[in-house]
C-alpha cells in the first residue's frame, strides 16, 4: 500500500505533460539568438530539467530530445542546428535555435472571413486521418488572427477518400525526399516487378491517385497508379534526392489530361439504362439514332473495369483492344460465377 | 466559430494550439473563456487549463531557472473572478507559426477538390487563396494535387435549388433500372470522390432519399418552396441499411477490401486460399452484379446461389451482346492504349 502511494507520487513528480515540455522547448529556442547547447537545454528547460542528471547518464533524455526535435519540425517549425565555428563536427558543441523571422507567419498571409470559410470547407474534404489532422492543424494556426469565418457553407458536404494503402507512405517519402521501393503490377504483365523510385508528386486524376516518380532503374520519369502497387511501400532513407521543380504536380495533371484526350472509345449503349444515363453524361460525341456515344479515357484497364460493371448495357465498338479487354473481364466474371452444369 | 472535433488531440496538436492561442490572446487583449472556446472549438475547461499552462511557462533565462520576468503573466483576478483572459506579460512569441509543407498541401489539395463544385468553378479567389497558403508555409508545400473534374451540368441547378429552398422535379433511374418522375425538396449535396449525390425529401416516397446526380435527368426547378423537414434526420452516410438488405458472402483479394468498405456487413474476415471471405450487405442483387463485374477477378460471390447466378447472368448477357454483333458485322479496329 505504502509502496504504491510512493510510486504514484514519484511518477507525478517527473510527469510534465508532453505539450508543456514541447511548448517550453519552442519558447526557449525562439528566445535565443546564438542557440542553446544540448546540455543547456536538458539541464534547464522544463520537462527535461526535472529529470536531468548533472553527473551524466542522460541517454534517455537525449533520445527524448531527438524525438521532440522531429515532432517540432514536423509541425513546420524551423528548428535549426548551428555548428560551432571552433569545433566543426563536434556534436556536443552543436547549438539549437528557432529563427523568429522564419517562424512567424509572414504579414501578407492574412485571410478574410470568406476565405476562412472556404478553408474550413477544404479541411472537411479529407476523410483520411493524417490529411484531416494536417488540415485541422493548419486551421488552428490561422485561428490565431481571431477572425471568425462567415457562416458555414450549408447544403454541401465534400468528401474525398483515400483508399490506397500506398498513399500515406508515399506522401511521407514525398515530404522527406526519400526514395521508395514497391512492387508494381503493370497491366499485361504476369508478375509484379520491384521498382525503386524517387517520388516527385502524387496527383488525383479521374478519381484515381497517381504517383509521378523518377524510376532509378529505368533512369527516367514514370507515372504509376497507386491501386496497382502490390504490398508495402518501403522507404529507402539512405537515398535522398533534390526537391522537384515547383508546379510539377500541375504538369503531370496536364500530361494525364493529354493522354485522356488521345484515347477515345465508341460505345453502343442500350436506351433507358444506367449506362445510357451515366456514360451519356460524359459523352463528347453522340449519335442518338444509333445509340452510340464517344468518350475519352485515360487508362484502358481502368476504363475496361468500369465498362464491365455495366454488363449488357454497354458494348465497346472500338478500339478493338478495349473491346477485347471488356470481353475478357466479362468472361472471367462469368467463369468464376457459373455453377457446374448450369450453363 | 470552429466546430467541435471528433478525435482527442495528440501532444503535437496541443502544442500547435498553444502556439496559436498565445498570439490570439495578444491580438484580442481581453477575451472571455467561452468566447475563446467557441473560436477554437474547445471546451471551456480545456481553455482554462491552457491558460494556466501558459501563465506558468516561459524561458529558463540566463541562470537556467525560470524567473518571474522570464515567464508569461496574466491578470489572475480577471481570470479567477470573471473568467476573462488578459495576458499582461509575454515572452518569445507574438505571432502565429507558419504552416508546415504538409499542412499547406492538405488545404491546397482540398481547395482543388472544391473547385469542381459549381459555385467555385474557375474561381479566382481559390487561386489567390492557394498562393497565400504557399507563402505561409515554412517549406514548399508537398507536391500533391487534385485534378479539376467536370461537374455534372445539373449540379448548378440543384445547388441553386438548395440555397433558395425550392422544389425540383427530375427523371430518376434507380439501380434496379426502374425510371420514374420524382418531385423532391433538395436538402444537401454530398460529393464523394468523383461522384455527386443529392439528399432530398422525396414526395413520391415520402421520406429522405439519396439520389445519384448522374442518374438524374430532365431536371426542372419549380416555383414551390421546400417544406420543413426538421423532423427528418438527414443521414450522414450515403449507404443506408434496411431490413430488406441482402447479405452476400464473397471472397476478395486483400488489396481490394478497402474498395468494399461501404458494403461490409461486419468486421469479420477469414482467410480462404489467400483471399478474404467477408459478408457484404447490399440493398439488392442489382447493385451486387454491377459491383462484382466492375472488380473483375477480384471479387467472387460464394453464396447465396441466387446472387452467384445473378452475377453470372449479368456477365453472360454482356458477352452475348458481343457474340451477336460478331455474327452480323465485321468489327473496325483502331487505336492503341496503355499507360
Q: Which residues of B touch A143 (CB under 8 A)?
A: 2, 20, 24, 39-40
Q: Please state, as a whole number, how many other Cβ atoms lie within 10 Å of the Cβ of residue B77.
A: 10
Average pLDDT for runs of 10 along chain B of length 339: 65 95 95 96 94 92 75 94 94 92 93 80 79 91 82 81 90 84 91 86 88 89 88 73 83 84 85 90 88 90 92 94 75 42
CA pair distance B249, B295, nearest whole angstrom: 15
pLDDT at B2: 61
pLDDT at B3: 61
Q: Which among A214, A246, A278 is the end of a domain? A: A246
Q: A-contacting residues of B 46-105, CB under 8 Å?
A: 53-54, 57-60, 64-66, 91-93, 95-105
For residues A317 and A207, which has the higher predicted lDDT (pLDDT)?
Answer: A317
B184/chain A closest Cα distance in angstroms: 15
User: How far are the Cα atoms of A197, B57, B63, B66 from residue B70, in angstroms, in the given order?
Assistant: 50, 8, 11, 6
For residues A297 and A148, which has the higher predicted lDDT (pLDDT)?
Answer: A297
Q: What is the pLDDT of residues A229-263, one digit of tens each?
A: 988 999 987 888 888 888 899 999 999 999 999 99
Q: Which among B37, B69, B89 is the end of a domain? A: B89
Q: By CA distance, what is A16's nearest residue in B?
A: B53
Residue B336 in domain? no
For residue A213, the domain's CATH number is 2.30.30
| Helix H or strand E encompassing A21 | helix A18-31
Q: What are phi and psi of A191, to 5 degrees?
A: -125, 145
Q: Judge whether B125 is closer than 8 Å to chain A, CB to CB.
A: yes
Q: Which domain holds residue B48?
A: 11-89
Q: By CA distance, what is B23's nearest residue in A?
A: A144
Residue A179 in domain? yes
CA pair distance B193, A208, nearest whole angstrom: 9
B173/chain A closest Cα distance in angstroms: 7
A154 with A175, same domain: the answer is no
Strand, helix or coil for residue A121: helix
B17 with B75, same domain: the answer is yes
A175 with A235, same domain: the answer is yes
Per-residue pLDDT band for A218 (boundaries 50, 70, 90) equals: very high
B303 with B250, same domain: the answer is yes
Say whether A319 and B335 touch across the interface (CB within 8 A): yes
Q: Judge whether B163 is closer than 8 Å to chain A, CB to CB.
A: yes
Q: What is the pLDDT of residues B107-116, one digit of tens each?
A: 999 999 888 7
Q: Is A66 exposed, middle or buried (0-12, 13-18, 19+ CB in 10 A)?
A: exposed
Of the partner residues A30, A115, A281, the one whose CB lies closest to the CB of residue B129: A115
Q: Is A154 exposed, middle or buried (0-12, 13-18, 19+ CB in 10 A)?
A: exposed
Of the partner residues A131, A148, A256, the one whose CB lies closest to the CB of residue B106: A131
For residue A31, the domain's CATH number is 1.10.10
Q: What are phi and psi of B311, to 5 degrees?
A: -70, -45
B187 with B217, same domain: the answer is yes
What is the arrangement of strands in the sheet containing A314-318, beginning at the earlier edge strand?
Answer: A285-287, A292-296, A264-269, A314-318
Instruction: Specify the pairing of strand A193-205 against strand A208-215.
Output: antiparallel
Of the partner residues A137, A282, A317, the one whose CB lies closest to the CB of residue B13: A137
Percentage of residues of chain A with pLDDT beyond 70: 94
A78 with A27, same domain: the answer is yes
Residue B332 in domain? no
Q: Which among B45, B68, B89 is the end of a domain? A: B89
pLDDT at B64: 67
Residue B241 in domain? no
Residue B5 in domain? no
ipTM: 0.87
Q: Which residues of A touch B292 (CB under 8 A)?
A: 333, 337
Of the partner residues A248, A301, A311, the one whose CB lies closest to the CB of residue B315: A311
- The residue among A120, A311, A335 with the most chain B CBs within 10 A of its CB, best to mutate, is A311
Residue A253 in domain? no
Residue A41 in domain? yes
Task: Indicate the DSSP class of residue B257.
Answer: G
Least confident of A2-6, A339-343, B64-68: A2-6
Residue contacts between A and B (CB atoms, under 8 Å): 433
User: How far are the Cα atoms of A207, B244, B250, B318 from residue B311, in angstroms, in the given order?
Assistant: 25, 19, 12, 11
Q: Which residues of A touch B66 (CB under 8 A)?
A: 46
- The per-type count for chain A, helices as H runs and strands as E runs, is 12, 13
Domain count, chain B: 4
Residue B1 in domain? no
A133 with A192, same domain: the answer is no
Per-residue pLDDT band for A3 (boundaries 50, 70, 90) equals: very low
Q: Which residues of A touch B126 (CB under 8 A)?
A: 118
pLDDT at A333: 94
Residue A343 in domain? no
Residue A255 in domain? no
pLDDT at A6: 36
Q: Which among A84, A103, A122 is the end of a domain? A: A103
Domain count, chain A: 4
Of the partner residues A22, A143, A320, the one whose CB lies closest to the CB of residue B2: A143
pLDDT at B5: 59
Say whether A148 and B320 touch across the interface (CB within 8 A): no
A184 with A272, same domain: the answer is no
Q: Judge whether B292 is closer than 8 Å to chain A, CB to CB.
A: yes
A131 with A150, same domain: the answer is yes
For residue B219, the domain's CATH number is 2.30.30
Q: A-contacting residues of B 230-289, CB under 8 Å?
A: 255, 258-259, 261, 289
Q: Which domain holds residue A11?
A: 2-103
Say whether B27 and A144 touch across the interface (CB within 8 A): yes
Mean pLDDT (chain A, rounded): 88
Q: What is the pLDDT of residues A36-74, one digit of tens each?
A: 999 999 999 999 998 998 888 889 999 999 999 999 999
B217 with B259, same domain: the answer is no
pLDDT at A183: 92
CA pair distance A13, A7, nearest whole angstrom: 10
A283 with A298, same domain: the answer is yes
Q: Which residues of A touch B144 (CB under 8 A)?
A: 171, 174, 201-203, 249
Q: Which among A103, A128, A147 is the end of a domain? A: A103
B265 with B289, same domain: the answer is yes
pLDDT at B144: 87
Amino acid at each position: 500500500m505504502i509502496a504504491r502511494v510512493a510510486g504514484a507520487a514519484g511518477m507525478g513528480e517527473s510527469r510534465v505533460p508532453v505539450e508543456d515540455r514541447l511548448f517550453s522547448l519552442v519558447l526557449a529556442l525562439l528566445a535565443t539568438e546564438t542557440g542553446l547547447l544540448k546540455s543547456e537545454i536538458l539541464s534547464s528547460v522544463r520537462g527535461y530539467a526535472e529529470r536531468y542528471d548533472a553527473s551524466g547518464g542522460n541517454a534517455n533524455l537525449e533520445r527524448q530530445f531527438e524525438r521532440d526535435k522531429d515532432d517540432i519540425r514536423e509541425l513546420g517549425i524551423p528548428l535549426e542546428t548551428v555548428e560551432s565555428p571552433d569545433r566543426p563536427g563536434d556534436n556536443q558543441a552543436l547549438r539549437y535555435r528557432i529563427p523568429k523571422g522564419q517562424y512567424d507567419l509572414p504579414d501578407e498571409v492574412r485571410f478574410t472571413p470568406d476565405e476562412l470559410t472556404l478553408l474550413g470547407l477544404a479541411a472537411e474534404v479529407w476523410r483520411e486521418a493524417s490529411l484531416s489532422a494536417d488540415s485541422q492543424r493548419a486551421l488552428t494556426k490561422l485561428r490565431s488572427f481571431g477572425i471568425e469565418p462567415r457562416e458555414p457553407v450549408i447544403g454541401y458536404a465534400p468528401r474525398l477518400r483515400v483508399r490506397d494503402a500506398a498513399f500515406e507512405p508515399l506522401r511521407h517519402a514525398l515530404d522527406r525526399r526519400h526514395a521508395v521501393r514497391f512492387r508494381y503490377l503493370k497491366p499485361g504483365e504476369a508478375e509484379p516487378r520491384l521498382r525503386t523510385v524517387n517520388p516527385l508528386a502524387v496527383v488525383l486524376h479521374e478519381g484515381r491517385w497517381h504517383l509521378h516518380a523518377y524510376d532509378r532503374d529505368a533512369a527516367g520519369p514514370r507515372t504509376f497508379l497507386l491501386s496497382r502497387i502490390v504490398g508495402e511501400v518501403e522507404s529507402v532513407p539512405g537515398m535522398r534526392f533534390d526537391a522537384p521543380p515547383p508546379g510539377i504536380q500541375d504538369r503531370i495533371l496536364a500530361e494525364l489530361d493529354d493522354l485522356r484526350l488521345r484515347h477515345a472509345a465508341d460505345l453502343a449503349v442500350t436506351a433507358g439504362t444506367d449506362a445510357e444515363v451515366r456514360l451519356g453524361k460524359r459523352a463528347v460525341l453522340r449519335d442518338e439514332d444509333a445509340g452510340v456515344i464517344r468518350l475519352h479515357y485515360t487508362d484502358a484497364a481502368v476504363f475496361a473495369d468500369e465498362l464491365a460493371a455495366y454488363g449488357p448495357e454497354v458494348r465497346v465498338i472500338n478500339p478493338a483492344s478495349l473491346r477485347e479487354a471488356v470481353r475478357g473481364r466479362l468472361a472471367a466474371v462469368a467463369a468464376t460465377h457459373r455453377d457446374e452444369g448450369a450453363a | 466559430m470552429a466546430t467541435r472535433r471528433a478525435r482527442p488531440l495528440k501532444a503535437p496538436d496541443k502544442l500547435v494550439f498553444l502556439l496559436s492561442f498565445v498570439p490570439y490572446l495578444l491580438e484580442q487583449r481581453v477575451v472571455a473563456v467561452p468566447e475563446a472556446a467557441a473560436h477554437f472549438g474547445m471546451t471551456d475547461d480545456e481553455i482554462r487549463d491552457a491558460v494556466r499552462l501558459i501563465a506558468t511557462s516561459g524561458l529558463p533565462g540566463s541562470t537556467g531557472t525560470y524567473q518571474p520576468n522570464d515567464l508569461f503573466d496574466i491578470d489572475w483576478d480577471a481570470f479567477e473572478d470573471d473568467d476573462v483572459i488578459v495576458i499582461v506579460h509575454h515572452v518569445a512569441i507574438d505571432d502565429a507559426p507558419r504552416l508546415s509543407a504538409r499542412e499547406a498541401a492538405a488545404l491546397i489539395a482540398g481547395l482543388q477538390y472544391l473547385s469542381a463544385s459549381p459555385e467555385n468553378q474557375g474561381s479566382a479567389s481559390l487561386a489567390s487563396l492557394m498562393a497565400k497558403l504557399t507563402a505561409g508555409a515554412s517549406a514548399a508545400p508537398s507536391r500533391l494535387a487534385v485534378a479539376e473534374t467536370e461537374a455534372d451540368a445539373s449540379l448548378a441547378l440543384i445547388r441553386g435549388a438548395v440555397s433558395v429552398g425550392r422544389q425540383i422535379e427530375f427523371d430518376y433511374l434507380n439501380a434496379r433500372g426502374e425510371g420514374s418522375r420524382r418531385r423532391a425538396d433538395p436538402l444537401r449535396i454530398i460529393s464523394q470522390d468523383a461522384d455527386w449525390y443529392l439528399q432530398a425529401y422525396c414526395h413520391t416516397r415520402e421520406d429522405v432519399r439519396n439520389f445519384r446526380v448522374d442518374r438524374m435527368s430532365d431536371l426542372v426547378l419549380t416555383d414551390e418552396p421546400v417544406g420543413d423537414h426538421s423532423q427528418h434526420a438527414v443521414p450522414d452516410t450515403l449507404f443506408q441499411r434496411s431490413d430488406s438488405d441482402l447479405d452476400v458472402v464473397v471472397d476478395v483479394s486483400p488489396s481490394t477490401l478497402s474498395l468494399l468498405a461501404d458494403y461490409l456487413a461486419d468486421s469479420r474476415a477469414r482467410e480462404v486460399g489467400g483471399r478474404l471471405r467477408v459478408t457484404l450487405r447490399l440493398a439488392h442483387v442489382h447493385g451486387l452484379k454491377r459491383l462484382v463485374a466492375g472488380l473483375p477477378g477480384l471479387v467472387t460471390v460464394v453464396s447465396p446461389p441466387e446472387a452467384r447466378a445473378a452475377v453470372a447472368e449479368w456477365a453472360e448477357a454482356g458477352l452475348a451482346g458481343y457474340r451477336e454483333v460478331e455474327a452480323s458485322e465485321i468489327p473496325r479496329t483502331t487505336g492503341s492504349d496503355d499507360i
